[in-house]
Amino acid sequence: MKRTTLYLPEELDLLLSQLARREGRSKAQLIREALERFAEAKREGVLPSWVGVGESRDPGYIDRDEEELLRALEEEA
């Protein structure tokens, strides 16, 4: 394994410390897991679930596209 250094905002470092303590794992383990997931998603080209929400045969859809996107994002949250 290769060692590296990261500069984190204090709030993120505190959150990582709390999560690590709660899960009985190290901050390094949490960071590695998060980076692995991120890199894998990027490599596979995984798109957010709302991508393609605008696909429609409804010609009037263009007038409602922003509302539909907002609705989809709210449902995902």
Instruction: For the chain, give every domain's residue range.
Output: 8-46, 47-77
The predicted pLDDT at position 42 comes to 75
% of the chain residues with pLDDT over 90: 30
From residue 76, how far is each of 45, 51, 71, 73 by CA, in Å? 19, 12, 9, 5
Question: For residues 65 and 21, which has the higher predicted lDDT (pLDDT)?
Answer: 21
Question: For residues 17 and 37, which has the higher predicted lDDT (pLDDT)?
Answer: 17
The predicted pLDDT at position 73 comes to 74
The pLDDT of residue 54 is above 70 = no
Rounded to two decimals, the pTM is: 0.56
